[in-house]
Amino acid sequence: MRRYSLCIFIFIFIFSLFFIEAQNYLLKSKVDIDEYNGLNTVKKIEYKETHTNIFFQDSVMTIWNDTHNIKEGDILDVRGRKQLAQNLENKGYGRYLMSKGYIYIIKPEDYIFVGRSISPLYYIQKLRDRLGRRIENIFRGRSPFIKALIYGERSEIDLSTSDTMSKTGTSHLIAISGFHIGIIAGLLGILLNKTNFLTRYIFIFFFIWIYVVFTGGRPSSVRAGAFYTFLILSVIFSEEYDILSSGFIIASALLLINPYIIYDIGFQLSFMAILSIGLFYNPIKNKAEKIKNPILKKIAKLGGLTISAQLLTLPLTYYHFGRISLISLISNLISVPLIGVLYPVLIFTILFNKIAFIGPIAKEVSVDLMDFFIYINTMLSDIPMSYIDFQESSIYITISMYIFLIALYGIYEKYRLKENFNDLQGFTRQY
């Protein structure tokens, strides 16, 4: 199955490259629309410190004044100029927008609210706003971090916290991903332990996808939901789950939907992380299984998972962000279990905060765990040489890093095959 999925992925990947080149050639012949006037339904809103990005179906506009009165689902009559994202001076940002499905940039001169689209999108946003207000009422100044952790709203996190987590390599913990999906699935599995096998997994499947939609259908959460869906299907049909096959199939589907997703850094990092785990984790896991102490065994497995996930993402982190964290292994060994405990405690606090005695205790535990997480990461990031910043990255160094890692894997595979062959010869001579 893995070979077929890899062949399909390679074919679709090559097709996507040709499609992008053809599309770019066709778009070059199109002249930017200088004057624009049209109705647009707000699909998503992204708040920044100095501006706000308003996303429509296939376009985005930037507003430099207060836009907190605009909600997802609002219909705006926009007048201004329209430009192809491909023709932006900042080619990287143009590719980023196209990887998200936004082809045009609208530079507004004026916009008028004309109505509201009463769609599922509108009600989902209302639920997110309500949850956000509840989190703010309970946790006050700590609410931006909790919003990011619970439903992926990262725009309110201060630059200091964001930079600290980047230095320690823990930024992935506040992006809705397989880590969060796994925690939710695990909690539901415990709660539904008494139900029959099929009912339990069907309920988990639907709840996960409701959560993915609720968090805004971000690419990282969609990918995580798809991976868990494959895992559930493999359990239901008693088939062996293969992370690499699942990764190739999901990546192929995403490329068919939008070939420009190749340019999406999140797509690149998540795909490389899955590929890296699939290639490098099993050897580390097999060594960890030989450890007799159960606590040390779990630490070794967690450390092995962290190392294996970062091997193929490290060159991309260097290339895109110009930074390599040298303490990510230590920080993740501490932070992953810590967030694994904090996440369910936060959910419990949000649900039962108003219950006397129980609510205040849960809140206190949540705050202490969160403060400890920030303290540990701040302390680790302040260690001299805990990370390396590069003034500029080189594509040649990036390629060299990948060649080295591929060669390393090739050496391991050669050694493993030789070892298996020797074992087989010994077995033949014995019998």
Sorted by sequence, the CB contacts under 8 Å of residue 28 that are 6+ apart come out as 86
Q: Does 350 share its domain with 236? A: yes
What is the residue-level pLDDT of the chain in tens, covering all 431 positions? 556 888 899 999 999 999 888 887 777 666 666 788 888 888 888 877 778 889 998 899 988 876 667 888 888 999 998 888 888 778 788 888 888 888 889 888 888 888 887 777 778 878 888 899 999 999 988 899 999 889 888 878 888 888 899 899 888 888 888 888 888 888 888 888 888 888 888 899 999 999 988 887 777 788 888 888 888 888 877 777 888 888 889 899 989 988 988 888 888 888 888 888 888 888 888 888 888 888 788 878 878 888 888 888 889 999 988 888 989 888 988 898 899 899 999 999 998 888 888 888 999 999 999 999 999 999 999 998 889 999 888 889 999 999 998 888 888 777 776 665 555 455 445 54
End residue of a domain, out of 81, 96, 117: 117
In a shared domain, residues 112 and 133: no
Q: From residue 59, how far is each of 36, 38, 268 by CA, in Å?
A: 12, 12, 23
Q: Do 178 and 296 belong to one domain?
A: yes
Same domain, 107 and 130: no
Last-in-domain residue among 94, 117, 140: 117
Contact 419, 358 (CB under 8 A): no
Specify the pairing of strand 104-116 against strand 59-63: parallel
Q: Which domain holds residue 66?
A: 31-117
In a domain, 96, yes or no: yes
175 and 292 within one domain: yes
- Do 289 and 158 lie in one domain? The reply is yes
Let me know if residue 173 belongs to a domain. yes
Domain containing residue 59: CATH number: 2.40.50.140
pTM greater than the 0.85 cutoff: no
Considering 87, 117, 147, which residue would you say is the last residue of a domain? 117
287 and 178 in a common domain = yes
Residues 49 and 197 in one domain: no
Helix (H, G, I), strand (E, B) or coil at 425: helix
